[in-house]
Amino acid sequence: MASKYRKIGQEIIGTTIGRWKVLSILPGGTNVKAQCLCACGNSRDIRVVKLSSGSSKSCGCLRNDNLTTHGRTKNAIRKNSSEYWIWNTMKHRCTNPNHTQHKDYGNRGIKVCDRWQSFENFYADMGQKPDGLSLERRDNNKGYSPSNCYWADRKTQNSNKRNNHYIEAGGTKKTLTEWARCTGISHATIIARINAGWPSHIAATAPKWSRYKDRLIAA
């Protein structure tokens, strides 16, 4: 086996593999090694088997450069990787037909603006994600862009879902969940009232133990 990799080593002298420049083959040893110079200037002795298989492509600088490009190192423009994964998921929802949420995004024509095809631009516009917040769109029928996106808490996100039931009463429009929270009437009671034929605005705001057309749906 050693003779096999020594022969391979002789054949790759002078070639470039990844960022490695193969300078020479070291004498002796069962694990045949090559003296290599990385593009960043570091020199290492690398096993020929790793060079031939492609498992070693640099001294480690290639991986670090890739991580920095994606904003995932301590030296990057933010403290952690949350923003990058949010950006990456956002793009996949809109462009990858195999993504589990593509039907609600890409299939509906929701797109990521040209500027946000670059993570650096996304981060420059949105900044670091505050703790406990997530990326939200102001208008769920429009795509991802600086003018339509902001960091929102879970309650705000739930209130902005496309399938929310909105009810207008007294000139105020709220989701069914928001009316339940404001009036103290349970979500289930409001739904039961609506299913029983109550107008939505009465179902959401009528006090507990109210009657409508002699039908009592208590809270």
Whether 198 and 126 map to the same domain: the answer is no
Whether 43 and 88 map to the same domain: the answer is no
Domain of residue 28: give its range.
2-63
Q: What is the pLDDT along the chain (219 residues), one digit of tens a residue?
A: 678 888 888 899 999 998 899 999 998 777 899 999 988 888 889 999 999 888 888 888 776 665 555 554 444 444 446 788 889 889 998 999 888 888 888 998 999 999 999 888 998 898 888 887 888 888 878 899 999 888 877 655 555 454 456 778 777 777 777 777 778 887 678 878 887 788 888 887 887 767 666 555 554
Could you tell me the pTM of the whole model? 0.41
Q: What angle do CA 110, 116, 119 make, to 5 degrees?
A: 130
Residue finishing a domain among 117, 143, 159: 159
Radius of gyration of the chain (CA): 30
Assess if residue 68 is contained within a domain.
no
Q: pLDDT at position 155, please? A: 57
Whether 86 and 133 map to the same domain: the answer is yes
Question: How far apart are alpha carbons 53 and 96 in whole angstroms?
Answer: 31
10 Å CB burial of residue 92 (0-12, 13-18, 19+) is middle
Is residue 42 classed as helix, strand or coil in its secondary structure?
coil
DSSP H or E run through 22:
strand 20-25
Assess if residue 69 is contained within a domain.
no
Assess if residue 71 is contained within a domain.
no
Assess if residue 105 is contained within a domain.
yes
